[in-house]
């Protein structure tokens, strides 16, 4: 892991659960940058959980609005809140890693500063996970809200497929078929999440983490809509990518579906599964994600074959990099034969 960002305003004591708490400690990590518009409502929803044995870790990425004032206010009045203010903007990726490193509980979830959770969210997820020791995470039904908190027509967001299949392939397939991935924000087992690479400085880091987690065990679904996910229809991919980079390094995390696919493929090969299983998962995943998923396929085509060729020359990514070439199967038959030949050669020495 990279060095921990500089921090300040951390309390000297750990949180104390309110009277009547039950169950294991749940850690909630909330990274935030200039989130004043929604932050109070989000904090109220998290601290108003029926399940009170939790800690809320706030990491302010050197915000320039009133985020710091709000965070200090909540930390002063609720001992379960731990507040960190980073001395400089280290980007969203490092901030997500930072809050995870501060967690104490056996259960952990990331929270966005603009989403909302029903008071029963944590208790429902903990109950489900306690009953299924083999499960790595639990999510709930969700509802979509817009910038003003109004309901969103879900018909336009139907491709947010939940990775709750019984087998590893069913979960991988669900991720490959989706175009929205909400369950990065599920409640997870801290120990299992720690075995992933955590957020990486790459476009689609949340999908990469979710895939790695799903390869380690089942994900449970509580059907009640206890999670309100806020959508911003006007934001572009470039807008979202800008938030991932450090304020010191412009353009450090570009939009690159090719690199995202590469890292997802590497995730499969890092999973604690037999080699034969990894091989059986890899090719169908790439076919589903790069070929049959119309939205992803259109982005790959827009990036062009040059992105694939560049990826194939980057030796630092090792043999798993060759797998990215499958994304170019829509190209010429000649290129397809060359890529598949390279793939087979590399997999024989895995």
What number of other Cβ atoms are within 10 A of residue 225's Cβ? Answer: 13
Least confident of 64-73, 136-145, 225-234, 340-349: 340-349
Report the interhelical angle of 36-47 vs 67-77 (nearest 10°).
Answer: 20
For residue 30, the cross-strand partners are: 58
Q: Give me the mean pLDDT over the 280-305 stretch.
A: 85
Phi and psi, residue 336, nearest 5°: -60, -45
26's CB contacts (< 8 A; 6+ apart) are 51, 53, 54, 55, 105, 107, 108, 109, 122, 126, 187
Distance CA 285, CA 278 (A): 10
State the pLDDT at residue 11. 35
Distance CA 189, CA 198 (A): 13
State the pLDDT at residue 279. 82
More confident residue, 227 or 308: 227
Q: Give me the mean pLDDT over the 58-73 stretch.
A: 97
Q: Give me the mean pLDDT over the 120-136 stretch.
A: 98
Q: What is the pLDDT of residues 245-258, one digit of tens each?
A: 555 444 467 888 88
pTM: predicted TM-score of the whole model, two decimal places: 0.82
State the pLDDT at residue 145. 94
Q: Considering the chain, what percentage of its residues have pLDDT values greater than 70?
A: 73
Which domains, and CATH codes, for the chain? 26-242 (3.90.550.10), 258-348 (no CATH)
Q: Considering the chain, what percentage of its residues have pLDDT values greater than 90?
A: 58
Least confident of 107-111, 238-242, 284-288: 238-242
Q: Give me the mean pLDDT over the 292-320 stretch.
A: 66
State the pLDDT at residue 321. 44
The tokens describing 151, both together, are 């309901």
pLDDT of 317 strictly over 60: no
State the pLDDT at residue 204. 92
Distance CA 29, CA 185 (A): 10
- According to DSSP, the β-strands at 116-117 and 219-230 are antiparallel
Please tell me whether residue 326 adopts helix, strand or coil conformation: helix
Torsion of CA 310, 312, 314, 316, to 10 degrees: 150
For the chain, the average pLDDT equals 82
State the pLDDT at residue 189. 98
More confident residue, 21 or 167: 167
- According to DSSP, the β-strands at 137-145 and 81-85 are unpaired
Q: What is the pLDDT of residues 185-242, one digit of tens each?
A: 999 999 999 999 999 999 899 999 999 999 999 999 999 999 999 988 766 555 555 5
């Amino acid at each position: 892991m990279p060095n921990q960002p500089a921090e300040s305003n951390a309390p000297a004591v750990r949180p104390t659960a309110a009277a009547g708490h039950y169950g294991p400690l749940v850690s909630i990590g909330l990274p935030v940058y200039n989130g004043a518009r929604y932050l109070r409502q989000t904090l109220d929803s998290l601290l108003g959980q029926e399940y009170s044995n939790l800690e809320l870790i706030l990491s302010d990425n050197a915000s320039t609005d009133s985020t710091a004032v709000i965070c200090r206010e909540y930390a002063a009045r609720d001992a379960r809140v731990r507040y960190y203010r980073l001395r400089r903007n280290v980007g969203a990726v490092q901030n997500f890693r930072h809050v995870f490193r501060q967690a104490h509980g056996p259960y952990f979830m990331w929270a966005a500063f603009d989403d909302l959770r029903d008071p029963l969210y944590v208790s429902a997820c903990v109950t489900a996970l306690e009953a299924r020791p083999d499960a790595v995470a639990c999510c709930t039904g969700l509802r979509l809200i817009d910038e003003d908190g109004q309901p969103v027509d879900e018909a336009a967001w139907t491709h947010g497929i939940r990775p709750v299949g019984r087998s590893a392939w069913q979960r991988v397939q669900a991720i490959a078929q989706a175009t929205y991935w909400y369950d990065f924000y599920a409640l997870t087992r801290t120990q299992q999440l720690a075995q992933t690479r955590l957020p990486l400085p790459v476009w689609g880091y949340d999908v990469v983490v979710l895939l790695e987690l799903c390869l380690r065990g089942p994900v449970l679904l509580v059907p009640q809509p206890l999670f309100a996910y806020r959508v911003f229809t006007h934001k572009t991919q470039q807008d979202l990518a800008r938030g991932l980079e450090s304020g010191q390094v412009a353009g450090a995390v570009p939009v690159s579906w090719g690199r995202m696919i590469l890292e997802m493929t590497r995730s499969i090969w890092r999973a604690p599964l037999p080699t034969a299983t990894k091989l059986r998962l890899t090719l169908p995943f790439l076919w589903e994600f790069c070929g049959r998923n119309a939205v992803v396929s259109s982005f790959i085509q827009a990036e062009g074959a040059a992105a694939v060729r560049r990826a194939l020359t980057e030796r630092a990514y090792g043999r798993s990099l060759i797998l990215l070439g499958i994304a170019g199967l829509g190209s010429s038959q000649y290129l397809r034969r060359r890529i598949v030949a390279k793939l087979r050669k590399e997999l024989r020495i895995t």
